[in-house]
Amino acid sequence: MNNLITFPDSTEYPSYAEMYMNYVKRDGTLIRQFEDNLESTKKFISELRKESLDVKYRPDKWTLKEVLVHIIDDERIYAYRALCFARNDKTCFPGFEETEYAKHSDAHLRSLNSIIEEYVAVRKATITLFKGFSERALLRIGRANENNTSVRALGYHIVGHELHHIQIIRDRYLSQFT
């Protein structure tokens, strides 16, 4: 239904999300960014060295596998919020404790292929979801983690959050293997 999704006003998302919004193109190409990132992230993940997957760049940080599963978890949660807000659900959604999610993800037990498979499935579902939103639905505002946010802002958050973590992987994790 909607392939052009304009970038949200700064009033449509919490200030903490600005760090993620700084990673995205603001030209209305959210769907294209979802699709492009699907391909580039999938390729990037599949080329990671096996010996790097269970490494932390500092003892108090996540492993690479945990970061990848975190990207997926965040996308699922934000896409669910987008669905709820688009359908005018007035529930105030809680935040989520990403540290606890990562701790209990059992990412270390998973193969890289299973993580990629889940990433692809979640991203394709997100693309389909956002393509189906009307302009009116994209502008709806909901409340999560004590912050107001629009449906379209949640979409841009998903893209920016992913790019933020891919950059961290490049800068902090992979530098140990070069």
153 domain-assigned? yes
* pLDDT tops 80 at residue 90: yes
61 domain-assigned? no
pTM for the whole structure: 0.96
The reported pLDDT for the residue numbered 175 is 81
* pLDDT tops 90 at residue 2: no
What is the total count of domains within the chain? 1
The reported pLDDT for the residue numbered 151 is 98
- As a whole-number percent, the residues of the chain with pLDDT over 70 amount to 98
The reported pLDDT for the residue numbered 47 is 94
pLDDT tens digits for range 7-16? 999 999 999 9
7 domain-assigned? no
The reported pLDDT for the residue numbered 3 is 75
Q: What is the rounded average pLDDT of the residues 145-171?
A: 97
pLDDT-based confidence at 146, cuts 50/70/90? very high
Could you write out the three-class secondary structure of the chain? CCCCECCCCHHHCCHHHHHHHCCCCCCCEHHHHHHHHHHHHHHHHHCCCHHHCCCECCCCCCEHHHHHHHHHHHHHHHHHHHHHHHCCCCCEECCCCHHHHHHCCCHHHCCHHHHHHHHHHHHHHHHHHHHCCCHHHHHCEEEECCEEEEHHHHHHHHHHHHHHHHHHHHHHHHHHHC
* pLDDT tops 80 at residue 60: yes
Mean pLDDT of the chain: 95
136 domain-assigned? yes
157: containing domain: 15-45+66-177
1 domain-assigned? no
What CATH number has the domain bearing residue 127? 1.20.120.450
pLDDT-based confidence at 169, cuts 50/70/90? very high
80 domain-assigned? yes
2 domain-assigned? no
Q: What is the rounded average pLDDT of the residues 19-41?
A: 97
Q: What is the rounded average pLDDT of the residues 101-122?
A: 97
Q: What is the rounded average pLDDT of the residues 47-73?
A: 95
23 domain-assigned? yes
